[in-house]
Chains A and B, each alone.
Chain A
Amino acid sequence: MTAGNGRRDGSPYAPHTDADEAAMLDAVGVESAESLFDIPEDVRFDGEFGIDATDERDLRESIANLFARNEELTEFLGRGHHAHYVPALVDDLSRRSEFLTSYTQYQPEIAQGFLQALFEYQSMLVELTGLPVANCSMYDAATALAEAALLANRLRRGASGHRVLVPEHLQEGRLGVLENYLDGADMEIGNYPMDDGAVDLDALSDLVDDETVMVYAESPTVRGVIEENLSEIGDLAHENDALFCLGSDVVALALLEEPASVGADVVVGEADALGLGTSYGMGLGIFATREKFLRQVPGRLVGASEDAEDMRAFTLTLQTREQHIRKERATSNICTNQAWVALRTAMHIAWLGPDRLVNLATRAVTDARDLAARLDDISGLQAPVYDRHHFREFVVHTDQPAPAIANDLAGRGFAVHTLDDHHLQVCITDVNADAADRLVAAFEEVA
């Protein structure tokens, strides 16, 4: 097999000609590149990985064939990973190699473009959350939540306890990540119950105490419920000197109450709902907070400054919070983040503009309401299970076993969530809305 470009076996992306290689070896003063490896014999690897090099065209075909083994289902899926239509502009411009193949902006003078785009992303989140500080990304909503809890704990070092209160309905991945991040800080997680899909205020009130460092609530919840008592939840947290952390997503924030106005100290959540599309759970974590917690913020921040010609210019700033300077005392271990996803999300928000973004968010309410009503009309289904306002998704009660119904729907080309023996969850966005009639018809056959 040739490596391509008419050269011998080797990396198709190492451009050395034989003559160049000889000249370079000569300059270094060795016979072969092999002799440059200072690896003792007893740890040398002489085996094979057993991976055959493949021509680009063959490889593309074989990977396409592999992906073709995925069944083509129309997904009515959400629960922490949402897809909206991503305009071509986002793919086209975010894939420009100047963006895609650049590194973290440690030399800001030569990286103004990306820095400005990230500054704009931060600014959009400031507008959406009402909080003055937003970082330029966390990995996903789950790790952003965990980082918020750690921030709350750092602020309350003197507190008698270190408990974070989270809703009974929390996406499994978020809970799992939170458990792992809190373990090292000797923190604990408490669950508060939900009442008809929303926060049970009385129960929460009994649970919040001086051992609580943070109360976390979501709107919309993982089950799609729009929380109606955010201010009261914030008050409960604050009365006990705990932080109020609100989980949301970038589309919902355009419609629902502004987090700052309901007392949120930190906003976390999913920004990848815009810009990324369905990507097997890959994310972009929102992290926004108050000015007074600035020095405790995890991750990178882009700030404005001036250059030597007094022109406004952008740079990574307040880096003493970060691991490359503060090491084990850093606010987080994060280094590589989701910058390119943040670029895409900013492009998508800009493409929508405020009108279309608000319309998209409003449709998430009306489409879910309409679809739930249509399913509720089908014998054997009740939807939505919770008598609340919903955003994108809602829970459906099934008289017949839910797993069997989900299976039958898959047979008819649809994917929905199965929550338990008699509950399904359905999520509708602009991506699958045109298939809603067919989904309803399929439900009529299988419910």
Chain B
Amino acid sequence: MNFDQARFSRDDHYEPLLSEKDSTTVEVDDDGVLPDDLTRDELTLPGLSEPQLARHYTRLSQMNYSVELGPYPLGSCTMKYNPSFTEDVAADPNAAVHPDRSDRTIQGTLGLLHDLQEQLAEIGGMDAVTLQPPAGAAGEFTGILIAKAYHEARGDDRSEIIIPASAHGTNFASAALAGYDVVELPSDEDGRVDIEALDAAISEETAALMLTNPNTLGLFERDILEISEMVHDAGGLLYYDGANFNALLGRARPGDMGFDIMHYNVHKTFATPHGGGGPGAGPVGVVEELAEYLPSPMVQETAAGYELTEPESSIGKVHGFGGNWLVLVKAYAYIARLGDSGLSDASAKAVLNANYLASQLDLEVPYGPFHHEFAATSGDRDAADVAKRMLDYGVHPPTTKWPELVSQAMLTEPTEVEDKASLDDLAHAFNAAYADSDEALETAPTKTSARRIDQVSAARNPRLSWQALGDDE
């Protein structure tokens, strides 16, 4: 496939900034609505007409790659197709209500939230679910706060969270945010949890073990029941990072594996759009014993209808209101559209696609059997350069140089939405880039809107606003 990304340019820049198209300064409050000392003097912003803006943003959109343009196999990101109808469902004007409305006047909103709580609990094998965390990392933080509240309620002060070295960076940061020390766990030679190292790491200080399963190499932690027993015997809790849950739908549930707490990444598993970095949503499920600590409020069904209630020993709030409502609506719509059979099929096809793609690559995949994602290695080629070259073939490259367990890793997750032809295109991009000359790799990309961008200059001389650009001139 040939690919040339749109490229609007003028002089030494691409599409001009809004501020370069117009900069208008207005006097503020010259009518004296407020006393002078309470208002600013003036405000300078672009003052453009709607047609000018339509063109600006349409051009910017054309200089942006997306799932609807082609494969986007970023490992651990689950970039699957976002069904169009879910956008329309979320835009329903009847759903646009304020969070301080009284319960009885928003039974539709609460009904949807209630059903989503129940469905996520069922899908994860959990007993209760909060929808409040606005992202996966917020879900992790919420889950760890719940673990902390549980231990504290038992008078059991614990200081450590155990996390495999190959885990997502957010795990470490979320545990630290909740005030815990992090104990990093090495992998065994098969790429899974090293049981001996785990045994050595577990102590009466262990508040929880955070695990991703399948892990970030796509491998299922086969010893999960033994791991669960070890953690629980020591009085700790087991936390499930739901980033890779798309591999398991309908085949295994964290609750059945012994996990006490989990978060769901609905912007991964349940197909809500990533929106260029967010918003997502990170609902958290817990077993019955922990339900009393969930954030407030929860939606409960009563004889009188749906009501917001506060769990008995709630940790309180993790978002100013109820989280990312529009995202939750889209997740609800996706789950209802697919149902049992569709969700289960999604996982089957995601795993098949990853395995088929790997079978077509000239790159080695050192660890397996993997599920929905795999870590290929570009060997003596720089993975970041191979990735840049892949852009020229009209595909998005995988996550590179992570996890660190695999040198020059290219963590690849094609998801279930690619057909065979698209996977073949992707394999071609991998193989061609991998085989390309050093010069081709170093000068790549050449087909994208911008050429290789100087990261060092960006960091040494931070220019973070259009106001800062003038400083150099």
Contact = CB atoms under 8 A, between A and B. Distances in A.
B169 A330 contact: yes
A205 interface: no
Nearest to A284: B279
A206 interface: no
Interface stretch (A9-17, A160-168, A379-387, A435-443): A9-17
A113 interface: yes
A372 B56 CA distance: 41
A309 B448 CA distance: 12
Contact of B80 (A13, A24, A277): A13
A317 to B, nearest CB: 4
Contacts of A192: none
Contact of B349 (A16, A40, A294, A303): A16
A175 B316 CA distance: 10
Interface in B69-97: 69, 72, 74, 77, 79-83, 85, 87-89, 91-92, 94-97
Contacts of A34: 348
Given A105-B276, A176-B316, A3 B342 contact: yes
A304 B473 CA distance: 14
A274 interface: no
Given A70-B97, A93-B57, A226-B38, A98 B65 contact: yes
Nearest to B79: A103
A407 to B, nearest CB: 8
Given A109-B451, A176-B317, A308-B443, A68 B94 contact: yes
Interface stretch (B375-383, B412-420, B428-436): B412-420
Interface in B417-473: 417-420, 423, 443, 445, 448-455, 457-459, 462-469
B262 interface: no
B273 A333 contact: no
A83 B96 CA distance: 10
Q: Which residue among B60, B111, B457 has the maximum number of chain A CB atoms within 10 Å of its CB?
A: B60
Contact of B63 (A113, A185, A310): A113
Interface stretch (A118-126, A237-245, A394-402): A118-126
Q: Which residue among B340, B360, B371 has the maximum number of chain A CB atoms within 10 Å of its CB?
A: B340
A329 B87 CA distance: 37
Name the interface size band of chain B. 35 or more
A36 B355 contact: yes
Given A16-B419, A133-B464, A177-B319, A116 B351 contact: no
Contact of A257 (B31, B39, B94, B318): B39
Contacts of A362: 29, 31, 33
Interface string A62-90: 11101111111101010111010001010
A134 B450 contact: no
B141 to A, nearest CB: 6
A335 B170 contact: yes
Interface string A17-55: 100110111011110011011111011110011111110
A313 to B, nearest CB: 4
A51 B179 CA distance: 39
Given A43-B252, A258-B40, A73 B105 contact: yes
Contacts of A353: 24, 45-48
Interface stretch (B13-21, B194-202, B232-240, B283-291): B13-21
A143 B387 CA distance: 35
Given A11-B342, A132-B467, A140-B134, A255 B39 contact: yes
Interface string A171-211: 11111110111011110000000000000000000000000
Given A53-B342, A336-B137, A183 B105 contact: no
A103 B9 CA distance: 24
B154 interface: no
B343 A49 contact: yes
B225 A280 contact: no
Contacts of B50: 87, 89, 351
B251 A114 contact: no
B45 A349 contact: yes
B125 interface: yes
B309 interface: no
B100 A81 contact: yes
B279 A102 contact: no
Given A117-B60, A179-B316, A347-B57, A110 B65 contact: yes
A195 to B, nearest CB: 17
A328 B319 contact: no
B39 A256 contact: yes
Given A51-B340, A114-B64, A180-B317, A109 B388 contact: yes
A107 B74 CA distance: 11
Nearest to B327: A282
A89 to B, nearest CB: 6
A376 B392 CA distance: 67
Contacts of B260: none
B303 to A, nearest CB: 16
Contacts of A53: 337-342
A96 interface: yes
A374 B109 CA distance: 33
B337 A59 contact: yes
B64 A49 contact: no
Interface string B366-397: 00010100000000000000011001000011
Contact of B322 (A51, A69, A280): A280
A137 B168 CA distance: 21
B280 interface: yes
Given A100-B273, A256-B40, A310-B12, A134 B464 contact: yes
A12 B343 CA distance: 10
Q: Which residue among B174, B219, B320, B402 has the maximum number of chain A CB atoms within 10 Å of its CB?
A: B320
Given A14-B345, A305-B454, A323 B137 contact: yes
Interface string A276-320: 011111110000000000100000111111111111111101100
Given A117-B60, A142-B317, A281-B320, A305 B457 contact: yes
Nearest to A40: B222
Given A104-B277, A307-B453, A354-B45, A9 B345 contact: yes
B34 A255 contact: yes
A357 interface: yes
B455 A317 contact: yes
Given A49-B250, A98-B69, A333 B450 contact: no
Contacts of A347: 53, 57
A278 B329 CA distance: 14
Contacts of A310: 12
A309 B275 CA distance: 29
A229 to B, nearest CB: 10
Nearest to B370: A38
Contact of A89 (B53, B109, B248, B329): B53
B176 interface: yes
Contact of B64 (A9, A113, A410): A113
Contacts of B336: 51, 54, 59, 62-63
B123 interface: yes
A77 B322 CA distance: 16
B419 to A, nearest CB: 4
Contact of B87 (A21, A49, A95, A309): A95
B214 to A, nearest CB: 8
B391 A109 contact: yes
A139 interface: yes
Interface in A207-244: 226, 228
Given A54-B339, A100-B87, 14 more contacts: A12-B342, A17-B419, A37-B251, A38-B369, A59-B89, A60-B88, A109-B450, A122-B465, A137-B278, A280-B97, A312-B12, A323-B173, A333-B176, A354-B26
13 contacts: A16-B352, A33-B348, A36-B352, A71-B105, A98-B68, A109-B388, A116-B14, A126-B465, A177-B316, A282-B323, A317-B455, A336-B136, A340-B277
3 A-B pairs with the lowest CB-CB distances in the bound complex, closest first: A281-B321, A340-B275, A176-B317
